[in-house]
Structure formats: structure tokens, C-alpha cells
Chains A and B, each alone.
Chain A
Amino acid sequence: MKNLIAVLTIAIALSSCGSNSSDTVSLVAAGATFPLPFYNLAIKNYSNSTGTQLTYGGIGSGGGIRSLRDKVVDFGATDAYLNTEQEENMPAELIHIPTCIGAVVIAYSLPGIEDLKLSNENLQDIFMGKITNWNDAKIKASNPGVILPDLDVTVVHRSDGSGTTYIFSDFMSKVSAEWDREVGRGKSLKWPVGLGAKGNPGVAGTIKQTAGAVGYIGSEFAFTQKIPVAQVENSAGNYVMPSLASISAAAKGDIPENTKVMLTCSSDPEAYPISGFTWLILYKDQAYDNRSEAQARETVKFISWIIEKDAQALAQQVNYAPLPGKTVAQARELLGSVVYKGQALNQ
């Protein structure tokens, strides 16, 4: 039944796409919605220049993992890397290829206030419901000289499961022991307070419409929509404004060989602390389920392209931070390990 659900979800997600012609290879992928604007743009450019048909269904990271497990897509996409248990549930060994870096920003709606700093303790107290008014002494302490209004705090969070929530809760769990104990990390959480809204547009819309609201949204959405966001305290104790440069700086530290790492709380003093990779996932051995060699080759060719300079420039156009050179080299190395009947596909 799960198989059927996955097929149906993808069928719905892709229903707007045209039919495949038989003489060219066509690829199907599905997964995370967070990098969707980047993938859409990248795929459009790639298809125009190579003629390869590629369709991507933004059905969520969970759906992407399910689809790859059920082998209904050529590759999947996810915002949270698979844990050991999830990897064991997959039918074969897979690899994670990071494609860009995104961040989660703290958006707020406070009339007349254009510059807001939030310490890690402020974030913990706000999102756990301990600070209920914006004129709380603890927020004032982080914002000397700013006159904060006597206004109720309304927390807005995602109502749908999301990689954005995962990155945010991972950061919160690292900076607050209490959060880690009471709430923890996950794509959806048991929220102590607040209202849920669907997707980045839902959260952003609710915040905009409600004076005193605060919530977290994907950086690419906030940058595109020019939503006011708060400066957040990083590991070095600096207040950092999220920007493509400060987000990219989060990946400057050591990255493990398989690139499976959360970039939250980077040690870099310039880094914006709530950042994270988003990955494409594919099977290491591409010869499965009667896949043709051409199909496997095209899969690897596209993924090799998306980590390189041309595609990374496209990522910045739609407000994602590019991969640092060191990470690109690691991703190349990983792609070199993909084989078809024992032969490496990416030389």
C-alpha cells in the first residue's frame, strides 16, 4: 500500500508535466520542497541545454525517501540526512550529495522595529512560551536602545512536517538543554505554544497579519519576499544577520566524508547558526530493477552538474547559498563511487 501511495503522490505531483518521448532518456525525481525553486530553475536550464527530460516532484523529504525506497524515482531529495535506522530500511546502499545550503530565519512582525537581536536564551524562552510579552526584560537586554512595545508574543510554527522545522529544532536542541529534553528535534514536533500554519507562505502570511508574531521560515523564501528577520546569536557569541555569505560560512568547518552533517551552530565566527545542507540521494549501485545504463549515466551526469559552478550560480539567483569548494570536491569524490554493474559511472 505504501508503494501505491508513493506512486499516486508522485503521479499527482507530476501530473502537470508533459509525456516522455521514447528516444531520449527521461529522469524522475521527487522529494524536499525546501530547495524546490533551485531545482526547478536548475532542471529548466539543464533540460534546455542537454535535451534530457527531467521532472522533479516537490512532495516533501519523507516522500522523497519513500519514493527512492520503492524505486519509483531515479533519485530522491531530502533536507535531513537518513539516520542509520532509515538507511538500514533501504533496499540497497545509498549516498548523499549536498546541492546547496539554506538557512532558517526568525521572522517577526513588530510595528516600527526594524532591527531585532535575539539571543539563544531569548529564542528558547519565546518558543517554549516563557516569554509572553515583547517588553520582557530578557529581550530588552539583548536589544539595548530599542523600545520594545507592550505586545503579546504569538509564536507561529509549521503545521506540516518539514525539513525547515528539522533544522530549526536541531539548532534549538544544541543551544538549549531544556528544549532538547522537552521538545527535541524532528520534522514535526510537539509544540509547547503557538499556532501552526502550512508551508513557508502560510507561516509568513500569518506573521505578517498578526502584530507581535514571531516564527521561523526558510531563508530563500524570506529573502525573496523581503521579510524582516532577526539577528541570531552564533556559537562565537556574535549576532549575525542571515545572508548568503553568512549562511555559506556555516559550511567552512570540517565536513565528514559522507557529508552527513548538520551545519547548525557552526564554529565559524561569521557563520549564521541555523543553516543546513540539502541533499540528493541515490543508490550507489545503479544497476537495479532493469535500469538501463543510459538511465544510470544520465542520473549521475545531472547530479555531477548540479554541484558545479554553473548550477551553483543558479542557486544564488534564487537565494540559496552555494557549496564551498571543499564540499564540492567531497561531493565529486562521492559521485565517483557510483557504479553500474561494477563500473564507475563518473570518470
Chain B
Amino acid sequence: MNPTKIVLFLASLVVILITAGMVYSLTSGAIPVFREFGLGFITSAEWDPTEGREVYGALPFIAGTLLTSLIAIVLCFPLAFSTSLFIGEYYRDTKIASIAGTMVDMLAGIPSIVYGLWGFYVLRPLIVSFGWSAQGFSIFTAGVILAIMIIPYATSITTEIIKMVSNDLKEAAYSLGATRREVIFNVIIPNARSGIFTSFVLAFGRALGETMAVTMLIGNSNVIPKGIFQSGNTMASVIANQFGEADGLKLSALVAIGLLLFVITGIINGIGKLIIKKYSV
């Protein structure tokens, strides 16, 4: 083997070993709680950490994570997709497109805690003033902040994908008399759809694991939310909140939630890959 091959092989091996190591330590840490509650850990909505009557069920957090991420992706899609078309097609290579592109990239660099603070002092009072929620801490508030946080990820990748659609195809369509809208819907989107889809799967994965900003806005009540304007909690947020004082069975429950989050992210990426395979051109 030549040296390049050896270096590449070792680098990939390290990545695989790290992932395997994480799965191993998460699984071994999660065993006590699954031994105690079995599958009930996933299906139970009861979370009572009080000593002597400990019951751990992860359903409230699974529900909170999926709900906030779904709200985020639904709100993010129209904004991110339009912005990508603006930057990558309509105003491609103009000054305004490059300004907009830089702004989007800057959004990606803002720390999570800053989004959280902005949400706490600006977004939350706004939700209260609309009368949607009495205190403004809700699944919806967390979803909105997540949507803003994942826009840059979805936008930058989608923009690149849209730019990559071959000019020959587009020019051919124009020469046949197609309007710009027709080119977008009949040439660009069909050609770029698997890439666009991938970018939104990535953005969704990012929303699933986001912690700090969500913790500050979701209300942290460990129950299944009764509505999107009620408080709840997410998997990442409960781990971040409770880890410091956790011990014994509770620590195992938190590690198990980490494992579930890992599995859910894996499943979503898997579904994404399947769909891409089916629709890619």
C-alpha cells in the first residue's frame, strides 16, 4: 500500500472506532435502566426522579424533541428554500445575493446561547403579546428559534445544489421558450431534489440535537405537551439539565436517552438516504 492510502485508511478507521466507542459506552450505560423498565422506558410518560419511587419514561422527551424539530423544519422550509432560489438563481452573482449569502453564513456562526437569550428577551414576549401562551415558554417558541437556527444549514447547501444544476439544461429550456418559473419547477427542482432533500435532512438532524436555546424557551416540564403552546422538554435539554446531579438509575436513564437520540438521528438519516436513492437522477 502506498503512504497516502495508509493515511486515509487510518483516518477513516479512527472515525469508525470513535463512533463504535460511543455506541458501546452509551449502550453499556443504558443497560441498567432497560433492565429495570424494559421497553416501558420508551413508551412510558412517567418521569419521577424522587428517591425511593424512581420511575423513568422517555416518552415526554421523545415527543418534545420530534415536535419541536417538526415545527422547526416546517417553518424553515419556505424561508430557506426561497432564500436559496434568490441567492442561487434569481439574483445569482449579484452584490445583493452575496450580501444575503454572507448574512446566512453569519447566522450559522452565532452561538446557541445567544439565540436562547434573544428568544428569551424578544421572541418570548412577542408570543405572550399575541396571546398564544401566558408565559411564552412553549414547544412552539422552541420550534421557532430552532427554525431560525437551522435556516443557514439548509440554505447554504440548497444554494450550492441549485447553482450546480448544469447551465446547458437551463439554456436548452429557455431556448424552447420556457419562462423562468417553468425552468425552476421543471428543470432545477427535478435535477436538484435529492440534494435539496439531503440539506433539509441535515437541518432536521441539527434541530433534533440542539440543546441550549431550547432549554431556555421550552419551559422544561417533564410531561407530554398537551399542545404546541404548552411547555415540554426535549431529549438533549433534559440531559443537559439533569446530568450534573444524576447518579445511579437516573444517570443510566439519561445515558439511555442519549442512546435513543443517537438511534433516532440514525433512523432519520437512514430514511433520508433511502428517499434520496429513490429520487436521485
Give the residues in chain B near A196, CB-CB below 8 Å: 219-222, 231, 233, 241
Tell me whether A161 and B242 are in contact in the complex, defined as CB-CB below 8 angstroms, given that A190-B222, A195-B221, A197-B220 are known contacts.
yes
Q: Are B244 and A1 in contact (CB under 8 A)?
A: no
CA distance A160 to B120 in the complex (A): 18
CA distance A163 to B135 in the complex (A): 26
CA distance A187 to B242 in the complex (A): 10
Which stretch of A56-64, A94-102, A114-122, A139-147 is in the interface?
A: A56-64
For chain A, give the interface size range: 35 or more
Give the residues in chain A near B244, CB-CB below 8 Å: 33, 59-60, 62-63, 160-161
Give the residues in chain B near A202, CB-CB below 8 Å: 216
Which stretch of B48-56, B89-97, B199-207 is in the interface?
A: B48-56
CA distance A159 to B51 in the complex (A): 17
Q: Are A188 and B51 in contact (CB under 8 A)?
A: no
B215 contacts A by Cβ under 8 Å: yes
Tell me whether A185 and B135 are in contact in the complex, defined as CB-CB below 8 angstroms, given that A1-B25, A159-B215 are known contacts.
no
Chain B positions 241 through 265: 1 when the CB is less than 8 Å from some CB of chain A, otherwise 0:
1101111000100000000000000
B43 contacts A by Cβ under 8 Å: no
Chain B positions 129 through 151: 1 when the CB is less than 8 Å from some CB of chain A, otherwise 0:
00000110100000000000000
Give the residues in chain A near B102, CB-CB below 8 Å: none
Give the residues in chain A near B49, CB-CB below 8 Å: 161, 186-190
B47 contacts A by Cβ under 8 Å: yes
Give the residue of B25, B29, B219 whose beta carbon is less than 8 angstroms from that of A195: B219
A333 contacts B by Cβ under 8 Å: no
Chain A positions 53 through 94: 1 when the CB is less than 8 Å from some CB of chain B, otherwise 0:
000000111110110000000000000000000000000000
For chain B, give the interface size range: 20 to 34
Q: Are A161 and B50 in contact (CB under 8 A)?
A: no
Chain A positions 192 through 215: 1 when the CB is less than 8 Å from some CB of chain B, otherwise 0:
001111100010011001100100
Q: Are A62 and B246 in contact (CB under 8 A)?
A: yes
Smallest beta-carbon distance B196→chain A, Å:
36
Give the residues in chain B near A195, CB-CB below 8 Å: 135, 137, 219-221, 231
Smallest beta-carbon distance B157→chain A, Å:
31
Q: Are B50 and A189 in contact (CB under 8 A)?
A: yes
Smallest beta-carbon distance A61→chain B, Å:
6
B28 contacts A by Cβ under 8 Å: yes
Kindly identify, within residues 46 to 80 of chain B, every residue whose CB is under 8 Å from any CB belonging to chain A. 47-53
Give the residues in chain B near A187, CB-CB below 8 Å: 49, 245
Q: Are A188 and B245 in contact (CB under 8 A)?
A: yes
Smallest beta-carbon distance A179→chain B, Å:
11
CA distance A188 to B51 in the complex (A): 9
CA distance A254 to B221 in the complex (A): 38
Tell me whether A160 and B50 are in contact in the complex, defined as CB-CB below 8 angstroms, given that A62-B246, A195-B221 are known contacts.
no
In the complex, the chain A residue whose C-beta lies closest to that of B26 is: A1
Chain B positions 187 through 229: 1 when the CB is less than 8 Å from some CB of chain A, otherwise 0:
0000000000000000000000000000110011110000000
Closest CB pairs A-B (n = 5)? A161-B245, A196-B220, A60-B244, A159-B220, A62-B245
